[in-house]
């Protein structure tokens, strides 16, 4: 168990509303990642973090922002949700350096109507 | 555009047989290779990782890497019904650990 908790686990919201997803880890890992998973696309990287206040964009970052003010928390924000952001969102941590295996949280199922 | 390709399946495997899953990748600079298992409605679970050419075995699982051919495979020996899942191939090309995933191969083990 990599000690990753995602919240909320499920959320339904309306287009245009802001949404924040939280990833919390208990083991002080430096590297954290946000992915989304959609049918036919596999998992795609949204943003990642390599330390407190150190973040960078991934493959599909448009419409998303992140923050990491504490080692244990990595937040993903949809400033103005759109229906195309309906997806399952997974947070992951790397147990060592960036090239090491990643372990995933249980995911957040987000529906935007 | 970096790409990771997998056959979508479903790959039907008789119980007790060997399941063979294949993955090709486009970035020659790829350094780290991972196989994840994902049950329906669940999160991906790491089952194997490999960094060097050759074979790596862990229990019933063997990962095979051929960087010259840009090919990584996963063998599942003595397949069990509990192995029925989608298997995701993931590749990393940098020190940040950014993963590029294939779309996954669905495996169905039939009794």
Q: With an 8 Å Cβ cutoff, are A99 and B97 in contact?
A: yes
User: Which tens digit of pLDDT belongs to each residue from A6-48?
Assistant: 999 999 999 999 999 999 999 889 999 999 999 878 899 999 9
CB contact under 8 A, B44 and A90: yes
- Across the strands, what pairs with A48? A33, A56
pLDDT in tens, A39-75: 878 899 999 999 999 999 999 999 999 999 999 999 9
Q: pLDDT at position A97, please?
A: 76
CA distance B44 to chain A (A): 6
Q: Residue A37 has what pLDDT?
A: 97
pLDDT digits (tens, 9 = 90+) for B3-62: 999 988 899 999 999 999 999 999 999 999 999 999 999 999 999 999 999 999 999 999
> B66-103, pLDDT tens digit by residue?
999 999 999 999 999 999 999 999 999 988 889 999 99
Q: Count of CB atoms within 10 A of residue A84's CB?
A: 11
pLDDT tens track for A92-108? 999 877 778 899 999 99
d(CA B37, CA B90): 11
Instruction: Please check whether residue A2 touches B, CB under 8 A.
Output: no
Token look-up 């090919």 returns B71
Q: What is the DSSP letter of A83?
A: G
| Contact yes or no for B49 and A107 at CB 8 A | no
Say if the Cβ atoms of A56 and B96 lie within 8 Å. Answer: yes
Chain A residue closest to B6 (CA)?
A: A42
Mode of pairing for the β-strands spanning B105-110 and B11-14 = parallel
CB nearest to A106's CB, from B4, B43, B104: B43
Q: Are B102 and B6 in contact (CB under 8 A)?
A: yes
Instruction: Name the DSSP class of A17.
Output: -
- Cα A80 from Cα B90, distance rounded (Å): 30
Look at residues B100, B97, B95 and name the one whose alpha carbon lies nearest to residue B6: B100
Q: Verify cis geometry, omega within 30 degrees of 0, for the bond prior to B55.
A: no
Cα–Cα distance list, B83 to A40, A87, B8, B42, B87 (Å):
21, 25, 16, 14, 10
B97–A98 C-beta distance less than 8 A: yes
Residue A82 has pLDDT above 80, yes or no: yes
- Give the Cα separation of B24 and A18 in Å (integer): 38
- Mind spelling out the 3-state secondary structure of B12-74? EEECCCCEEEEEEECCCCCCEEEEEEECCCCCCEEEEEECCCEEEEECCEEEEEECCCCEEEE
Query: What pLDDT sits at residue A1?
Result: 59
Q: Indicate the average pLDDT of chain B.
A: 95
- Give residue A2's pLDDT: 66
């Amino acid at each position: 168990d990599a000690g990753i908790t995602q919240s909320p686990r499920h959320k339904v919201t309306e287009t245009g509303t802001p949404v924040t997803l939280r990833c919390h880890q208990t083991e002080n890992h430096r590297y954290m990642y946000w992915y989304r998973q959609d049918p036919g696309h596999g998992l795609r990287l949204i943003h990642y973090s390599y330390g407190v206040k150190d973040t960078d964009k991934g493959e599909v970052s448009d419409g998303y922002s992140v923050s990491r003010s504490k080692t244990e928390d990595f937040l993903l924000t949809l400033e103005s949700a759109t229906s195309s952001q309906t997806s399952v969102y997974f947070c992951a941590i790397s147990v060592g350096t960036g090239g090491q295996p990643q372990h995933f949280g249980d995911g957040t199922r987000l529906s935007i109507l | 555009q970096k790409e990771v390709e997998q056959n979508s399946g479903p790959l039907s495997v008789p119980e007790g047989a060997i399941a063979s899953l294949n993955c090709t990748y486009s970035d020659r600079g790829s350094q780290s290779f991972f196989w994840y298992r994902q049950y329906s409605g669940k999160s991906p679970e790491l089952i194997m990782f490999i960094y060097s050419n050759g074979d790596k075995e862990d229990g019933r699982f063997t990962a095979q890497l051929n960087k010259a051919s840009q090919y990584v495979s996963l063998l599942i020996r003595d397949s069990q019904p509990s192995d029925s899942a989608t298997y995701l191939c993931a590749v990393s090309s940098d020190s940040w650990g950014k993963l590029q995933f294939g779309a996954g191969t669905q495996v169905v083990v039939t009794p």
